[in-house]
Amino acid sequence: MTSFYLASVSYVGTRYSGFQIQSTLPTIQGTIWNSLKNIDPMVGLPSGASRTDAGVHAEDQKVFFKTEKPWDLTILKKAIQAYLHDDIQINTIHAVPEDFTFKKAVVAKRYCYRLATGPQRNPKENFHRWYLPGSFQIDLFEMNKALKYYLGTHDFSSFRASECVALSPIKTLYRFELIEDSQGLSILFDGNQFLMHQIRILTGTLVEFMKNKFTSDDLRSILVFKDRTKAGPTAPPHGLTLEKIWLDPALGLNEPYNLVRPCID
């Protein structure tokens, strides 16, 4: 009897060529599949909620898979983890109904891009933050005021990689906010979906704004132009983490996203 499962997975993406499986390079999807095949040789390729890039990390990637027999969830979690490297962690596993539709179940995602600033680099943060040398005079209130223009539903063509195959560039941002943290700065992105490299290009554009290479008016114009050449550079992948994925609350697997979503005004 086929059984259906949804796992929450954390990983350090440094040694992997992204989530999506590739024929000759190590990936998160391929590594999890190999682990699953040790406990069920007939298991199909698992699917993920986000195709994180090479070097990108995750705290709550959602992975859907099927097995040919039912499992006790505690035993299943331990069995999969036993064949994984220590940079991939199965957080939870839930059984889901046969009619579970993965893509329709995801209602929101949160990414965090971390920046390090200051007079010198902290080697411990090399694989988790983009270090920006030099000094920055940052007015968080004014910067976040400018970023509010991006909230809501827009055509994000200016922030789309040339090889992106998404059917539409129109996406919705619920949150785009720069905050201070204990090691530097974090940029929070909540949205319904994201284009290929959208967050990294938005980050690169924001960093140019921080360096006074773009004005607030420039930020508005870049979005309106729908032209990738007008935006800033693509930020490196290692500063980016997939923090959270919210599912349809009717599934009973997480808190509803509308309870934590900031208002758009």
Cβ(39)–Cβ(66) below 8 Å: no
Structure token digits, residue 223: 């979005």
Beta bridge partners of 111: 189, 242
Amino acid sitting at position 167: L
Q: How far is it, in rounded angstroms, from Cα 191 to Cα 180?
A: 21
Structure token digits, residue 175: 């949150």
Cβ(159)–Cβ(198) below 8 Å: yes
Residue 7, SS3? strand
Catalytic residues: 53
